[in-house]
Structure 1
Amino acid sequence: MIRTPLRPLARILRARETGENPDAIEAENRAQRHAAIQERARGSARTRLFFMSCAFALAFGTVGAKMGVLAASQPSEPRVQTTGAQIISQRADITDRHGRVLATNLLTHSLYAHPQQMVEPERAARELVRIFPDLEVERLDKDFTGKRTFVWIKKKISPEQMQAVHDIGEPGLLFGPREMRLYPNGHIAAHILGGATFGKEDVASAEVVGVAGVEKAFDHWLRDPANDGAPLMLSLDLTVQAAMEEVLGNGMKVMNAKGATGILMEIKTGEIVAMASLPDFDPNDRPRPLLKGDPSDSPLFNRAVQGQYELGSTFKIFPVAQAIDLKLVSPTTMINAKAPMKIGKYLINEFRGHNYGTLSVTDIIVKSSNVGTVRVAQLLGPDRQRDFLQKLGFFDPTPIEMSEAPTGKPLVPKRWPAVTSATVAFGHGLAASPLHLATAYATVANGGKRVMPTLIHDRSQRGGEQVLSPEAARIAVQMLRQVVVRGSGRSANVEGYEVAGKTGTADKPRPTGGYYGNKVVSTFASVFPASDPQYVLVLSLDEPSTIGAGGESRTAGATSAPVAAEVIRRVAPLLGLRPSTETQLPMVERPLPDRLKLVSN
């Protein structure tokens, strides 16, 4: 911009020639310059005011629009946001069949220290020991005053503990976000859930990994982001599980047993509705495994899946059902059950020295005759007997979805001579888990069609192999019903629920060989209702002993059977089963060759 001079020379000269005052010219130019400056200032002010008005209008418009959006949106609870990296592990929940939570996640924090940033390390050590009594003040003093630059103090702390550490006011004590696994029901279903712990971790994140049970078996699935947080739905019913664990725990105390296990399974689907092993543990505070001694002494030991027991007379229904299926015998076929029976150099006797003489096939099961069962097994022959037990699943681990399942492989004799065939027929010489037994009974009760156990709800199963004819399976269930009506299982009878089952008492083997004289495993395997089988319950007590009218007793009829009855009495209404008036169905007699009407030596 060219500025006009205040005293232009040409005008000054003309003014002097005409006698004008040159100072008037300067004053006029100065006034014009000031007027121009003021005009420019007014224009600049107007521009600033315009832009400020636009800015205020935009700001208030944005706030108003946001308020309108919030007013029109659905209300929701505010979420607390934390600084730092996102937790790596977003592990899916585990629920029961009704969607009730069995395992979930809890946002918490870890506690660590940067000793070089600490102002009063000795005081901080003393205050931390006051908050966490399991810490050692000497160890903390050494860590805080030494050369270490990083110290883990606690991998997870509660909000109350976090606030108490805050109150110490030590800048070198720092917190990291954590997602920990929480089991809100404590001990309930502990062995099935297993537990979880921290895997890879740093101060800003931690990976939660399963260490046992379904947590380990489905670890990859539970951590897979592709599932979009969908829960893993188990076949368990939390209410039924809690009821069975309560009854089983009380029964274990009353019967003075070392341990106990119970399995409740749907027959048609193979779904496990409840499965318990006692003693148990709290997966929120999982104990350390035993490093020596008997594994079954640890509360971590899952007796239902990992236990390998000779299951005694519960096996007797298998050779009998197979013989009926092959039309070798019928329920009324008379068998020579005279005791003792000699096989090679071995004698087979009856419990408490009984000698039943001649029994029908039905009464062999009702009276639990060892000799009578061996006679039936001899009709089958070792090869057919072995093949049938293999089809029932007694030679392989159960396919249950638990990390412990492979460890429960049955102990099967390598050779199968006549004496092995005889002892296995009445439940000795072959050791399997209670879950194996429950699966086999479910197969018999399922019209002879193979059942595969599962812990996943609504998992579609392919049709199982038909290992037994439906008619033979129906007759076998009727025989088991007679055991409860008038046999060794009378203490398991629950009015209105038509319980059918078989008792089994087996001496416990010594680790050094042979058997204990006063230690047994008592088992009651049952099906209910007998007229329309829907559920299988297998209940087993380890080293039970009870005092009755006849003195001390360890038999299944006096120990496991009454506990099983109480379990059925408690859980049947929870399962939606109504008590009914029983209708006795007649046994079906098949035409048999005359030579099989009486089987003897």
Structure 2
Amino acid sequence: MFKRKPKPEEISEDLPRRAERNAVRRRDRASSVPLGKSRYIIAMTMFIGVYGVIAGRLVTWGTEPDERALAFRAADQFMASRPDLVDRNGNVLATDIRVGSLFAEPRKIVDANEASERLRTVLPDLDPKWLYNSLSSEAAFLWLRRELTPSQQQAILDLGVPGIGFRTEKRRFYPGGTVAGFVTGHVNVDNQGIAGMEKYLDDQGYLALQNSGLAVDAELEPVRLSIDLRVQNILHDELTAAMTRYRSIAAGGVVLDAHTGEVLAMTSLPDYDPNDPRQALEKDRMNRTSAGLFEMGSTFKSFTSAMALDTKKVNLHSTFDARNPIHIGGHRISDFHGKKRVLTLEEVFIYSSNIGSAKEAELVGIKGHQEFLTKLGLLTRLKTELPEVATPTQPKVWKQVNSITISYGHGVSTTPLQTAVAATSLLNGGLLIPPTFLPRTEEEAKKISTQVISKETSDDMRYLFRLNVADQRGSGNYADIDGYEVGGKTGTANKVVNGRYSDTKKFNAFLAGFPMSDPRYVVLVFIDEPQPEPGKYYATAGMNAAPVVGNIIRRAGALLGVKPDLGETGKTLLVSY
């Protein structure tokens, strides 16, 4: 459709109206520009203001004295949460509690002398000279005492000393005290792990989380350990009693799951209370079970016999001439209670013959002997979560005399924990499973296990272990507990004193497993320098370490799910009830 062309007079009449409309549009555009600019200016002002405050705060902190600045920066760390440590059944082993810590701002203190005297009425152990000098200094901030008790905090508040304040911190608390101290470890005054599983936790990334401030008052999931607190209590209790009964200088032990490698209990005495970490620095308070190196004596004959059997060159009925002592390198090697006759391999084990064990090692050879012990993990540092693990020692060059003495447990020093782990492979079908202080399933254990001996050799070793306890000829019959099919091997080693083996100082151990028909658990106990029990002459492992293991199994067996099989005797007892 075409539009009509306007006439000249119509155009002239429309010009004023058009000019007026254009003027209105120009005014609108002019008025809208300042409004947009004002919004932009307001936004920029707020942005600059916020970041100006932050910058100012940073400058304030930066110009403060070092002590004050550190106090501000560390405030979040003081309140950083650590996850609870719990046992396999959920019982708390370590948790956080809130405590007050005392600080001073010396610049605000009116009379340092009076303030010092008044504070020492509540905290008399504070050094008076140090306290006065601290309070009269020009420092902006300093700590006076960390981790006060509630009564101490209230008493200081009642003094009303100006320039004195409190900061709430997190303190680690261990409900069990000494019972599992070497497993849990402890933290320092800043709530950072420095020993045991507490240190492992920090090494796994918690410390970085804490330092970043992301752990402040956070609800962290508890960390479950493999430890069974019930069994841990039994182990600790029996070893404490043993130290008194046998007047020994130290003792320790471990309970392992033979199918998973889990550490169910571990302790070492003298121990310490992680609630008072200073005790850990005292002489003799060390974790001998995982960080102590010892010649394990005749418990090593278990590995020597397994090594000989695994070659398939001998069996349980093979014979070894033990009629005469062995003379080599100026040494005379004989048996403690020698039979002075030819012994079968079975008899070599239950009579604990040094001569027979030496002949077994000769059968394998020096190189094969060293390789076998290495394969079982006895000559290298144990890999587990616990930081306190020692590295075994061995001869720099193995000679024939070294192989012979090592066959019966002298010449190589290793940890009791390593010995127990290696022995587990002798009883569980030949699988060497790395130990763990964290929960692990059998399926997970099998994926990381190594077949170190044949199942047939393992079957033979289970038979020998059981025979050594059940047979009256064996050295371990004091560990025989009705219904639990206990098997084991004693070890009585002479300790080295001033470079020579002592005839009076012994390191005794008993290595056991149960039930031998299908071993589920391995127990190792050691007693350092025991004395004969009153009324008895000998202080051998069979007389002290073996009965301690028996007591542990008697009390812990049912808790671990092992139903005692008492046979006809048990049925008769049930009927009588």
Q: TM-score, normalised by structure 1?
A: 0.77
**In the alignment, is the contact (CA less than 8 A) between 2:432 and 2:450 conserved in 1?**
yes
Q: Do structure 1's residue 493 and structure 2's residue 469 form an aligned pair?
A: no
Q: Which residue is equivalent to 1:81?
A: none
Q: Do structure 1's residue 566 and structure 2's residue 551 form an aligned pair?
A: yes
Q: Do structure 1's residue 209 and structure 2's residue 200 form an aligned pair?
A: no
Query: Any unmatched runs of 5+ in structure 1?
Result: 1-83, 200-207, 584-601
Q: Do structure 1's residue 472 and structure 2's residue 463 form an aligned pair?
A: no
State which of 316, 320, 326 in structure 1 corresponds to 2:305: 320
**In the alignment, is the contact (CA less than 8 A) between 1:119 and 1:170 conserved in 2?**
no
**In the alignment, is the contact (CA less than 8 A) between 1:498 and 1:582 conserved in 2?**
no
Query: Any unmatched runs of 5+ in structure 2?
Result: 1-74, 569-577
> 1:147 offset after TM fit, Å?
4.0
Equivalent position SS for 2:254: strand
Q: Which residue is equivalent to 1:423?
A: 405
Alignment CA distance shift 1:477-1:85 (3 Å): closer
Q: Which residue is equivalent to 1:522?
A: 508
Structure 1 segment 32-111 matched on structure 2, within 5 A: 87=78, 89-111=80-102
Q: What is the rounded CA distance, in whole Å, between the counterparts of 2:105 and 2:81 in structure 1?
A: 28
Percent of aligned positions that are identical: 36
Q: What is the rounded CA distance, in whole Å, between the counterparts of 1:176 and 1:563 in structure 2?
A: 48
Q: Which residue is equivalent to 2:491?
A: 504
> 1:179 offset after TM fit, Å?
1.1
**In the alignment, is the contact (CA less than 8 A) between 2:299 and 2:509 conserved in 1?**
yes
Q: Which residue is equivalent to 2:380?
A: 396
RMSD: 2.1
Q: Do structure 1's residue 283 and structure 2's residue 274 form an aligned pair?
A: yes
Task: Pick the structure with more helix per residue.
Answer: 2
Structure 1 segment 229-244 matched on structure 2, within 5 A: 229-244=220-235
Equivalent position SS for 2:561: coil
> 1:344 offset after TM fit, Å?
4.8
Equivalent position SS for 2:425: helix
Q: What is the rounded CA distance, in whole Å, between the counterparts of 1:95 and 1:268 in structure 2?
A: 22
Equivalent position SS for 1:188: helix
Alignment CA distance shift 1:481-1:161 (3 Å): same
**In the alignment, is the contact (CA less than 8 A) between 1:339 and 1:350 conserved in 2?**
no
Structure 1 segment 150-169 matched on structure 2, within 5 A: 150-169=141-160
Q: Do structure 1's residue 361 and structure 2's residue 345 form an aligned pair?
A: yes
Larger radius of gyration between Structure 1 and Structure 2? 1
**In the alignment, is the contact (CA less than 8 A) between 2:272 and 2:280 conserved in 1?**
no
Report the AA paired with residue 565 of structure 2. S
**In the alignment, is the contact (CA less than 8 A) between 1:210 and 1:216 conserved in 2?**
yes
> 1:148 offset after TM fit, Å?
4.1
Q: Do structure 1's residue 578 and structure 2's residue 560 form an aligned pair?
A: no
Q: Which residue is equivalent to 1:265?
A: 256
CA displacement 1:7-49 (0-9 Å, x = unmatched): xxxxxxxxxxxxxxxxxxxxxxxxxxxxxxxxxxxxxxxxxxx
Q: What is the rounded CA distance, in whole Å, between the counterparts of 1:516 and 1:469 in structure 2?
A: 38
Alignment CA distance shift 1:579-1:152 (3 Å): same
> 1:582 offset after TM fit, Å?
6.8
Q: Which residue is equivalent to 1:65?
A: none
**In the alignment, is the contact (CA less than 8 A) between 2:263 and 2:435 conserved in 1?**
yes
Report the AA paired with residue 511 of structure 2. A
**In the alignment, is the contact (CA less than 8 A) between 2:272 and 2:279 conserved in 1?**
no
CA displacement 1:395-424 (0-9 Å, x = unmatched): 11111211112xx11111121211111111
> 1:478 offset after TM fit, Å?
0.9
Alignment CA distance shift 1:532-1:86 (3 Å): closer
> 1:548 offset after TM fit, Å?
5.4
Q: Do structure 1's residue 543 and structure 2's residue 525 form an aligned pair?
A: no
State which of 71, 79, 103 in structure 2 corresponds to 1:112: 103
Count, aligned residues: 481
CA displacement 1:187-228 (0-9 Å, x = unmatched): 1111111110134xxxxxxxx211111111221444445996
Q: Which residue is equivalent to 1:307?
A: 292
> 1:156 offset after TM fit, Å?
1.4
Q: What is the rounded CA distance, in whole Å, between the counterparts of 2:126 and 2:179 in structure 1?
A: 30
CA displacement 1:311-351 (0-9 Å, x = unmatched): 11111121211222222111122221113123354321111
Q: What is the rounded CA distance, in whole Å, between the counterparts of 2:408 and 2:534 in structure 1?
A: 26
CA displacement 1:288-318 (0-9 Å, x = unmatched): 665xxxx9x431x110011111111111121
Q: What is the rounded CA distance, in whole Å, between the counterparts of 2:461 and 2:196 in structure 1?
A: 34
> 1:233 offset after TM fit, Å?
1.0
Which stretch shifts more, 384-393 or 127-136?
Answer: 127-136
**In the alignment, is the contact (CA less than 8 A) between 1:248 and 1:567 conserved in 2?**
no
Q: Which residue is equivalent to 1:333?
A: 318
State which of 243, 265, 268 in structure 2 corresponds to 1:274: 265
Report the AA paired with residue 161 of structure 1. Q
Q: Which residue is equivalent to 2:36?
A: none
Report the AA paired with residue 492 of structure 2. T
CA displacement 1:100-142 (0-9 Å, x = unmatched): 1111111122101123323454343233222223213343233
> 1:88 offset after TM fit, Å?
5.1
Q: Which residue is equivalent to 1:443?
A: 425
**In the alignment, is the contact (CA less than 8 A) between 2:245 and 2:533 conserved in 1?**
no
State which of 134, 137, 158 in structure 2 corresponds to 1:143: 134
Equivalent position SS for 1:134: coil
Q: What is the rounded CA distance, in whole Å, between the counterparts of 2:194 and 2:189 in structure 1?
A: 10
Q: Which residue is equivalent to 2:574?
A: none
Report the AA paired with residue 497 of structure 1. Y
State which of 386, 393, 412 in structure 2 corresponds to 1:411: 393
> 1:176 offset after TM fit, Å?
1.2
**In the alignment, is the contact (CA less than 8 A) between 2:431 and 2:449 conserved in 1?**
yes
